[in-house]
A and B are shown apart, each in its own frame.
Chain A
Amino acid sequence: MTAVPTWFGPADRPLFGWVHVPADNRAAGAVVLCPPVARELAATQVCYRFVAEELAAAGMLAIRFDYDGTGDSTGVDLDPQRVESWLASIRQAIDLARSCGAQSVSLIGMRVGALLAAVAAARLGSIDAVVLWDPCESGRAFVRQEAALLRLLSNDHQGTGDGTELPGFVFSAETVSHLGSLTVPADGARPSRVLLLTRPDRRPATKLTDALGTEPDLAEARGQELLLEVEPGSRETPHDVVAQVVSWLHRGNPASPGVVSISAQDAASVPFEGTRLTERTIRLGPAGLFAIVTEPNTPTGTPTVLMLNAGNDWHVGPNRLWVDLSRRWAAAGFRCVRFDESGLGDSPPRPEKPANLVRSPDAFDDVKDARFAVEPDDPTNVVLVGLCSGGYQALEDALVRPTRAIYAINPVLHFAPPELATGAMDPRRRICWPVSGLASTYRSWLAEPVRRRLRKVLWRSIHLLNRDRGRDASTWFDQLRIDGVEVLVVCGEDEARPFGTTPAETLGAAAGHDSIRLDVIEGLDGALMPAWQRAEVSRRLTDHLVGHFVPAEERPIARVASA
């Protein structure tokens, strides 16, 4: 089997996707995977890749793709006509499947993706089978659920002034309205077969299947809560359900195997705020790490920006922040590369290594390979950007190799390295404070209010202990200062605690030096879910980048481009 990345669809507004081709280049029909939207899109990226791989293994061509304004495709949340653009994206993915030689096309959709798949099937016709996986029966219910979740995740909701804010994303009033009124047309085409997967504790979305007019086969969508309703690092793909879906599609597939081929486009001209940028898929280093590079129209000699994975989110970054910043900063003259570390996102694991392992020690090799691949003549000429585990890894890497700058957002230093499960901590880890069994016991024995009262005393003790071990922030901040690295750490109060309980304790000898900056923002969410936080962090990073790497006489132009 092969998986081929490609741009497709309209040349003036390209979409991005992957075509999974069976091993012998012969496929019995194609399956287009319609993803969920907003937060649930990131939650299902690994699951969808697994589904596509299983479909290809079963002899079907599989296409996974990003709707217009999502993932790596062109556009943003607040562009007009989102819902119709998403439906048009499905049509273009179907066209891509047919252009590869597929004789029949089926659709899989999860959550809002299921609603969109049902509408697309009824509108377009000629769809063989449709899988409605834990569907949102209405777009209104989805928006209400996600808006409520943001409010329950964050008590400092500030509102956006325009539209509805969901965790990590903003939908315009038009999008909310169009999604709320989206229904399957009564006189639409009927797919040959429908599989409806419903959570065991929910009612089947029969309104959707009744409108489609095809009597559905019914099954349970087990495991959705572990896929969609957990922290990013804890998501689990429901393998049994995937096997059931693939088997159902394979069993009733009327297509006979035929030759398929893909004419992939590895580069595209992407419009962004009045200019056009070139984006291209590349592979980095011997591990073949997957990356997308966004090129400025006029190379300026500035360092290349490398964006790291946040947890096990894929290369589009937390709430798609890396895509937005890549295009914004490329418009300001910077070459930006967003990539997946080995075993994460769209990169293969290294030999004999597990996939989807967050904070793997292999990340040390991945970042090294990436910087040598993008700047072979001077691998120090990079700016590393990361959030959470990516922020941690950026700091670690800059302590090993000279680096122009690092932007670490909410870096997590206090965690259990995965290698501890089988042995000692990797000696390359210089700033990690490994979570011990004692810490776990403390967390499980003492209630949060008690822990809150003990927090200051406890952190102070930990700082004193780590100072003796040379792992305290003041030691390595000073090392970065001596090495000439520009450092900007942006974090909330909770994430700031491991750095120190006082400014002197945190920065030590680096205090007062402009090259080392620690910005603590009150209430900053670990994953930047509220829109104002993403805007504020983007502004601080952009000002720093332009201020340090664009000559003074060119800054007004760069600032306009990056505003």
Chain B
Amino acid sequence: MSEEPTLKDQIRQVLAEHARLAVPIGTLDDHADLFLAGMTSHASVNVMLALEDRFEIEFPESMLRKSTFQSVAAIDAALSELQSVSA
């Protein structure tokens, strides 16, 4: 029986598709700096749009800063906050 993907799994899948990292996302831990791993500002916008699409949320202006998309853990925290607000 397959398990439901966790939030972090889904974030990693979005990053694999849109972040254009210099290394496979699987080689980075949750706190690794994605910008140091090659994600550009343009790619981070694509990640943001893909996350919005997948989770049917919208990042407010206050969250539109590099630190929100700095790592898997940071994205996880931002999404958790948004989902708790909308729940």
Q: What residues on A are CB-neighbors of B65 within 8 Å? A: 151-152, 155
Judging by beta carbons under 8 Å apart, are A151 and B61 in contact? yes
Judging by beta carbons under 8 Å apart, are A155 and B66 in contact? yes
Of the candidates A147, A155, A229, the one whose C-beta lies within 8 Å of that of B42 is: A229
Kindly provide the distance from the CB of A156 to the nearest chain B CB, expressed in whole angstroms: 11
Judging by beta carbons under 8 Å apart, are B17 and A149 in contact? no
Of the candidates A147, A225, A447, the one whose C-beta lies within 8 Å of that of B36 is: A447
Kindly provide the distance from the CB of A67 to the nearest chain B CB, expressed in whole angstroms: 23
Judging by beta carbons under 8 Å apart, are A153 and B41 in contact? yes
Judging by beta carbons under 8 Å apart, are A229 and B61 in contact? no
Q: What residues on B are CB-neighbors of A352 within 8 Å? A: none
* Interface size range of chain A in the complex: 10 to 19
- Which of A147, A148, A228 gathers the greatest number of chain B CB atoms within 10 Å? A148
A504 at the interface (CB under 8 A from B): no
Q: What residues on B are CB-neighbors of A448 within 8 Å? A: 36
Judging by beta carbons under 8 Å apart, are A149 and B41 in contact? yes
Q: What residues on B are CB-neighbors of A225 within 8 Å? A: 20, 42
Q: What residues on B are CB-neighbors of A230 within 8 Å? A: 40, 42
Judging by beta carbons under 8 Å apart, are B18 and A201 in contact? yes
The A-contacting residues of B in range 43-73, CB under 8 angstroms, are 43-46, 48-49, 59, 61, 64-66, 69
A160 at the interface (CB under 8 A from B): no
Docked Cα-Cα span, A153 to B45, in Å, equals 10
Q: What residues on B are CB-neighbors of A201 within 8 Å? A: 17-18
Task: Say whether, besides A201-B17, A225-B20, A149 and B36 are in contact (CB < 8 Å).
Answer: no
> What mask results when residues 163 to 185 of chain A are scored 1 for a CB within 8 Å of chain B, else 0?
00000000000000000000000
Judging by beta carbons under 8 Å apart, are A229 and B66 in contact? no
Q: What residues on A are CB-neighbors of B18 within 8 Å? A: 201
Q: What residues on B are CB-neighbors of A149 within 8 Å? A: 41-42, 45
Docked Cα-Cα span, A152 to B42, in Å, equals 8
The B-contacting residues of A in range 122-175, CB under 8 angstroms, are 141, 145, 147-149, 151-153, 155
Q: What residues on B are CB-neighbors of A228 within 8 Å? A: 42
Q: What residues on B are CB-neighbors of A155 within 8 Å? A: 65-66
Kindly provide the distance from the CB of B13 to the nearest chain A CB, expressed in whole angstroms: 12
Judging by beta carbons under 8 Å apart, are A229 and B40 in contact? yes
Docked Cα-Cα span, A228 to B65, in Å, equals 21
Kindly provide the distance from the CB of A548 to the nearest chain B CB, expressed in whole angstroms: 38
The A-contacting residues of B in range 19-54, CB under 8 angstroms, are 20, 36, 40-46, 48-49
Kindly provide the distance from the CB of B70 to the nearest chain A CB, expressed in whole angstroms: 11
Of the candidates A145, A147, A151, A229, the one whose C-beta lies within 8 Å of that of B49 is: A145
Judging by beta carbons under 8 Å apart, are B43 and A229 in contact? yes
Q: What residues on A are CB-neighbors of B43 within 8 Å? A: 229
Kindly provide the distance from the CB of A134 to the nearest chain B CB, expressed in whole angstroms: 13
> What mask results when residues 307 to 349 of chain A are scored 1 for a CB within 8 Å of chain B, else 0?
0000000000000000000000000000000000000000000
Kindly provide the distance from the CB of A522 to the nearest chain B CB, expressed in whole angstroms: 18
Docked Cα-Cα span, A225 to B39, in Å, equals 13
Judging by beta carbons under 8 Å apart, are A151 and B36 in contact? no
Docked Cα-Cα span, A149 to B61, in Å, equals 11
Judging by beta carbons under 8 Å apart, are B36 and A152 in contact? no
Docked Cα-Cα span, A448 to B46, in Å, equals 23
Docked Cα-Cα span, A448 to B49, in Å, equals 27
Docked Cα-Cα span, A448 to B20, in Å, equals 19
Task: Say whether, besides A155-B65, A155-B66, A229-B40, A148 and B20 are in contact (CB < 8 Å).
Answer: no
Judging by beta carbons under 8 Å apart, are A145 and B45 in contact? yes
The B-contacting residues of A in range 520-553, CB under 8 angstroms, are none
Kindly provide the distance from the CB of A107 to the nearest chain B CB, expressed in whole angstroms: 26
Q: What residues on B are CB-neighbors of A141 within 8 Å? A: 49
Kindly provide the distance from the CB of B75 to the nearest chain A CB, expressed in whole angstroms: 13
- Which of B17, B36, B40, B45 gathers the greatest number of chain A CB atoms within 10 Å? B45
Judging by beta carbons under 8 Å apart, are B64 and A151 in contact? yes
Q: What residues on A are CB-neighbors of B48 within 8 Å? A: 148, 152
Q: In the complex, which residue of chain B has the Cβ closest to the Cβ of A229?
A: B42
Q: What residues on B are CB-neighbors of A147 within 8 Å? A: 64
Q: What residues on B are CB-neighbors of A151 within 8 Å? A: 61, 64-65
Q: In the complex, which residue of chain B has the Cβ closest to the Cβ of A199?
A: B46
Task: Say whether, besides A229-B40, A447-B36, A448-B36, A152 and B20 are in contact (CB < 8 Å).
Answer: no
Q: What residues on A are CB-neighbors of B41 within 8 Å? A: 149, 152-153
Q: What residues on B are CB-neighbors of A145 within 8 Å? A: 45, 49
- Which of B18, B20, B42 gathers the greatest number of chain A CB atoms within 10 Å? B42
Judging by beta carbons under 8 Å apart, are B44 and A152 in contact? yes
Docked Cα-Cα span, A386 to B71, in Å, equals 37
Of the candidates A148, A229, A447, the one whose C-beta lies within 8 Å of that of B64 is: A148
Q: In the complex, which residue of chain A has the Cβ closest to the Cβ of B20?
A: A225
Judging by beta carbons under 8 Å apart, are A152 and B64 in contact? yes
Task: Say whether, besides A229-B40, A229-B42, A152 and B66 are in contact (CB < 8 Å).
Answer: yes
Q: What residues on A are CB-neighbors of B69 within 8 Å? A: 152
Docked Cα-Cα span, A152 to B61, in Å, equals 11
- The 8 A-B residue pairs with the shortest CB-CB distance in the complex, in nearest-first order: A229-B42, A151-B64, A152-B41, A153-B41, A149-B45, A148-B64, A148-B45, A152-B44
Question: Given A151-B61, A229-B42, 13 more contacts at CB 8 Å?
Answer: A145-B45, A147-B64, A148-B48, A148-B64, A149-B41, A149-B42, A151-B65, A152-B44, A152-B64, A153-B41, A201-B18, A229-B46, A230-B42
Selected A-B contacts with CB under 8 Å, 30 pairs: A141-B49, A145-B49, A147-B64, A148-B45, A148-B48, A148-B59, A148-B64, A149-B41, A149-B42, A149-B45, A151-B61, A151-B64, A151-B65, A152-B41, A152-B44, A152-B48, A152-B64, A152-B65, A152-B69, A153-B41, A155-B65, A155-B66, A201-B17, A225-B42, A229-B40, A229-B42, A229-B43, A230-B40, A230-B42, A447-B36
Q: What is B's interface to A at a CB cutoff of 8 Å?
A: 17-18, 20, 36, 40-46, 48-49, 59, 61, 64-66, 69
